[in-house]
Chain A
Amino acid sequence: MNLPPSDPNGVTRRGFFQLTLGWVAGSFAATATVAAAVRFLVPNVLFEPGQRFKAGKPDDYPDGSITFLEDERVYLVRKGNTFRCLSAVCTHLGCTVNRAGKGYHCPCHGSVFNDEGGVESGPAPRALTWYLVALSKDNRLLVDKGQNVSADKYLVI
């Protein structure tokens, strides 16, 4: 083989095979490493309040009460034997709404919601969200913030 001295890439069949394989394996490893680094950064567990949470026993809430659950930012509404759960997050820009009179009031930009979460006034584009309430196997109220329901859907005990 008479190759130009400083052209080491002048390639034999064997060298061609070796180089290709090396580059393919190396590129694969590099790509996989980058992918693994990205995967490393995707959290597998969250340390924030969960989407589904238990809100205690039904009897913890007196009849006719509207209870604010701080950690979860929801209102738990009991009327007679029915339970509902209303999001306390304003649909405008995400502030926490306060119970005020016969409705809810957002302190940030003055949106006012009625008892059923509907917008009365202010910049809020949508009504407050109602979440699904169910009963768990150990007879606790189970709220799923992943599932929105309409205002007329109740859990009846």
Chain B
Amino acid sequence: MNDFSLRKFYGWFTLLGLVVGVLVIVGYYRDENRPWKVYQRKFLQEEIRRAVTPDQRLLAQNTPLQIRQILLPELNRVDRCTTCHLAVEDPSYGNFAQPLAYHPLHDQHPFDKFGCTVCHRGQGRATTVADAHGNVPFWNEPMLPTKYLQASCGQCHEAADNPAAPELARGNQLFETVGCRGCHKLGGVGGNLGPELDRVGARRAPEWLKQHFLSPATVTPGSGMPPQKFAEPDLEAIVLYMLSQTGANLPGFYGSMKVLPSVSEGRRLFQLKGCIGCHTVAGQGGKIGPALDDVGLRRKPEWMMQHFRDPQSVSPGSVMPRFGFTEAEARALTEFLVHLRDQKVSLSIPALMEPTVRGREVFRKYGCAGCHGPEGKGGVPNPNAKTAQQVPALTYVADGYTKPELKKLIVNGQREIVALDPHHPAPPLYMPAWGNTIKDAEIDDLVAYLFTLKPKGEDAGF
């Protein structure tokens, strides 16, 4: 019976008790020693050092170590960046090293309204360096490198002509002139040879985009996209513009900031709202309202703003309706009108353009240059196509087609491209059907433009 004593287990009991006890202590220690506390202690020491009055010293001494966060319910974000970046609002920390550096230029975007991650990306809820900066597995939104930061402006603001984000504007300019829309849709406008780009900035890293522009087939095997020969600054700008296309649909207040009070935005609105129906510019348009050519000389901007809000309040008896413009829209229109006496601005109103000039805009808008080259001069490779392994130039379309034939070709496209060697893979690029994308009137303008491409003084070669 003696051998059945429990005494042989006592040692096990002691050991297991101690192991559990030690594990609890280790767990507690690891949980309690969070890295952000180190930064907060450093910051509070600095605050105590700087304290001038006893009150300030007391305040710093009594500040508890705690996670700080900015609640952004409308954006569905919680940003805890200020748990470590404690001095972002204090200019006196201007030359401090991170994480205690001051964040300049936040007057227009106060932190309590915007937080941090909506511009910088990263993981707002995280409280360790690696996790918060987002370069960790299973987090798709790492911090944007500072040189691409202007991409974030594009989430809320119009990219074109944005003076506060020159790199973004430049990227946008490139995107619209190089002809990306010939194959890619963005915001519903463009071709369908390549994928839509509406969310590309959220899905792709800068390095990927860069590599993809220079040599598409190395990152996307089988891609038919021709390599783009961008110079380095242009490459950075277009990558930045791509990064700005996150597809984020920002709600409420943030979304309302889209319209910039710029001339180009004003011009877009002027066209969209049909102002030319009642007013004349350069002698063209409706005669119901006054001519607008020199309105910038006659009226002050404040007057125009008030006029947009309530036309009758500044010009009694006016029949102009209240359009209910937002403040930003009214500002954009005002800006446009102020600059209207400038030749370049007035001539850029589409309604006033020659059809061939408008057609050139259409050529640009839908990215025809992406395949047919600038001014339709060709040269974009299309391996194994019978047309010299290139997308054909458009310089001589006037010789080969009548206008209705050319229009039909644009509307219906040409899916089958004759191959040089039928045993090799079919040419990757083909002419998509544009009938559903480009408006009928626009196609007429486009055809008119294409017919002007033939060099002057040359006769039909046939």
In the complex, A touching B, CB below 8 Å? yes
If over half of B's interface residues share one DSSP class (helix, strand or loop), that class is named, otherwise mixed; here it is helix
Q: A53-B112, A137-B89 are in contact. Are A19 and B21 (CB under 8 A)?
A: no
What 1/0 mask marks residues of chain B from 11 to 55 whose CB sits below 8 Å from any chain A CB? Answer: 101101110110111011000000000000000000000000000
Q: Please report the C-alpha to C-alpha distance between residue A22 and residue B11 in the assembled complex, in whole angstroms.
A: 8
Q: Which residue of A lies closest to B90 (CB)?
A: A137
Roughly how many angstroms separate A8 CA and B16 CA in the complex, as a whole number?
A: 19
**Given A32-B28, A44-B66, A45-B67, are A18 and B21 neighbors across the interface (CB < 8 Å)?**
no
Partner of A138, one of B14, B21, B24, B107: B107
A15 engages B21 (CB within 8 Å): no
User: Residue A136 at the B interface, CB < 8 A?
Assistant: yes
Is B395 at the interface (CB under 8 A from chain A)? Answer: no
Option from B17, B20, B106 in Cβ contact (under 8 Å) with A23: B17
CB-based nearest A residue for B7? A15
Report the interface size class on chain A: 20 to 34
Cα(A12)–Cα(B8), bound, Å: 12
- Residue of A with least CB distance to B1: A5
B69's contact among A8, A22, A45, by CB below 8 Å, is which?
A45
Please tell me if the beta carbons of B6 and A3 are within 8 angstroms of each other in the complex. Answer: no
Residues of A within 8 A of B14 (CB): 18-19, 21-22, 25
Shortest Cβ distance from residue B306 to the other chain A in the assembled complex, whole angstroms: 18
Closest Cβ of chain B: how far from A24's Cβ, in Å?
Answer: 8
Q: Check B195 for interface membership: any CB of A closer than 8 A.
A: no
CA distance A152 to B106 in the complex (A): 33
B462 at the interface (CB under 8 A from A): no
The answer to whether A22 and B10 touch across the interface, beta carbons within 8 angstroms, is yes
Chain A residues whose C-beta falls within 8 Å of the C-beta of B67 in the assembled complex:
44-45
Residues of A within 8 A of B7 (CB): 8, 12, 15
Asked whether, in the complex, the Cβ of A3 is within 8 Å of the Cβ of B112, the reply is no
Asked whether, in the complex, the Cβ of A22 is within 8 Å of the Cβ of B13, the reply is yes
Verify if B95 is at the interface (C-beta below 8 Å from A).
Answer: no
Query: Is B4's CB within 8 Å of the partner chain A?
Result: yes
Give 21 CB contacts A-B under 8 Å: A3-B5, A6-B1, A15-B10, A18-B10, A18-B11, A18-B13, A18-B14, A21-B17, A22-B17, A22-B18, A25-B17, A25-B18, A25-B20, A26-B17, A26-B21, A28-B21, A32-B24, A33-B24, A45-B80, A49-B71, A137-B91
**B-side interface residues toward A, CB under 8 Å?**
1-2, 4-7, 10-11, 13-14, 16-18, 20-21, 23-25, 27-28, 66-67, 69, 71, 78, 80, 89-91, 106-107, 110, 112
Known: A8-B6, A136-B89. 20 other contacts (CB 8 A): A3-B5, A5-B4, A14-B10, A15-B10, A18-B14, A21-B14, A22-B14, A23-B17, A25-B14, A26-B17, A29-B23, A32-B21, A32-B25, A33-B24, A36-B24, A36-B28, A45-B67, A45-B69, A54-B110, A137-B89
Report the 6 A-B pairs with minimum CB-CB distance, sorted nearest first.
A25-B17, A5-B1, A8-B6, A22-B17, A25-B21, A18-B10
